[in-house]
């Protein structure tokens, strides 16, 4: 449509992270670790403001990442995190340094397990676009919100 343009450049934008661009693979993952696992009784509440109440006896995992690291508080009781290749619902309020997950249906979750907030674990994947939807924003904001406390590791 524009023969006068040389068109020898491409604005890659967020596609360099594999987001919102057909045919690309994500080049980043966001992971943390499970720091606590606790069984709570039916009716027990979790997190600030008691935003989540256990519908039955439940296993709750605490993960070392929170809003100071870029996990939006809008994620309270919204979305999933991957643990042991399964989706664990994020429950309760996102706190400064931690989130909590319902791992009742995921066998053998223990302290030290990897929690994948963005990326792939086994056959399951959580995309930045999904996280953005759960956060009420766009994937650009999700990725640029990742704080300086989040360790960056680069690989080939």
pLDDT at position 18 = 65
Whole-model pTM? Answer: 0.90
Instruction: Kindly give the residue spans of alpha helices, DSSP state H, lying in 27-111.
Output: none
Q: Which residue has the tokens 């661009």?
A: 21
Cβ 115 vs Cβ 81: under 8 Å: yes
Structure tokens that stand for 21 in this block: 């661009």
Cα 83 from chain centroid?
11
pLDDT at position 155 = 80
pLDDT at position 113 = 99
Cβ 90 vs Cβ 130: under 8 Å: no
Query: What is the bridge-based pairing of β-strands 52-53 and 45-46?
Result: antiparallel
Radius of gyration of the chain (CA): 18
Each of the 156 residues of the chain gets a pLDDT tens digit; together they read 667 766 677 777 777 776 766 777 788 899 999 999 999 999 999 999 999 999 999 999 999 999 999 999 999 999 999 999 999 999 999 999 999 999 999 999 999 999 999 999 999 999 999 999 999 999 999 999 999 999 998 887
What is the rounded distance in angstroms from the CA atom of residue 2 to the CA atom of residue 27?
A: 32
pLDDT at position 8 = 73
pLDDT at position 1 = 64
**14-144, which class in CATH?**
mainly beta
pLDDT at position 127 = 93
């Amino acid at each position: 449509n524009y023969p006068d343009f040389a068109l020898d450049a491409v604005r890659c934008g967020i596609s360099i992270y594999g987001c919102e661009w057909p045919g690309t693979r994500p080049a980043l993952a966001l992971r943390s670790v499970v720091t606590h696992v606790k069984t709570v009784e039916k009716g027990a509440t979790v997190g600030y403001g008691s935003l989540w109440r256990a519908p039955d006896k439940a296993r709750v995992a605490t993960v070392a990442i929170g809003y100071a690291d870029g996990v939006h508080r809008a994620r309270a009781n919204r979305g999933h995190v991957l643990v042991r290749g399964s989706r664990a619902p994020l429950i309760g309020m996102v706190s400064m340094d931690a989130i909590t997950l319902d791992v009742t249906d995921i066998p053998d979750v223990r302290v030290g397990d990897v929690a994948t907030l963005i990326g792939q674990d086994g056959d399951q994947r959580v995309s930045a676009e999904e996280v953005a939807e759960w956060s009420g924003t766009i994937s650009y904001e999700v990725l640029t919100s990742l704080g300086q406390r989040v360790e960056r590791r680069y690989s080939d």
